[in-house]
Amino acid sequence: MPKRIYRKNFLEKLPAGSKLVAKPSRWGNPYTIPEDGDRPTVVEKYRLWIQSQPDMIERARRELRGWDLACYCMLDELCHADILLEIANSGEVTAQVEPIKKKKRQQPGLMI
C-alpha cells in the first residue's frame, strides 16, 4: 500500500518507488502557512481546490497510483500528500474526495 514519506531536505535522494509531491513540483500545495492559514486550514483548502480540478484528479490517478509520495511535512502532521494518496489510489475513477468534516457551530438559543 503506498504511503507518505518524509523528505528532510531537497538534497536527500528519494527512495525507489517514490515521487516528490512538495513544492515546486506540479503537485505542491499552492496554499502556504501562515499566509493562507494554519496547517489544517491549508490542507483543507487544498482538498477543496483539487476537488474542483478534474484534470488534476485524473492526472494524479495516472501518474501517482501505486507510488509512495514524498513531502517535507513531518509524518505526524496533516499533509496534502495524504489527499493525493487518497485520490491516486481510490478504486473508482469518478469518486469524489470527501472534505474534512468540520464541527458544527452551536446556534445561540432564542431568548424570550
Q: Where are the domains of the chain?
A: 4-88
> HSE on the CB side for 60, CA within 13 Å?
32
Opening angle at CA 11, ends 14 and 31, nearest 5: 80
Angle in degrees, 0-180, between the axes of helices 80-88 and 39-51, rounded to the nearest 10: 30
pLDDT at res. 76: 94
For residue 91, pLDDT over 70 is answered with no
For residue 95, pLDDT over 60 is answered with no
- This prediction has a pTM of 0.77
pLDDT in tens, 39-79: 999 999 999 999 999 999 999 999 999 999 999 999 999 99
R_g of the chain computed on alpha carbons? 16
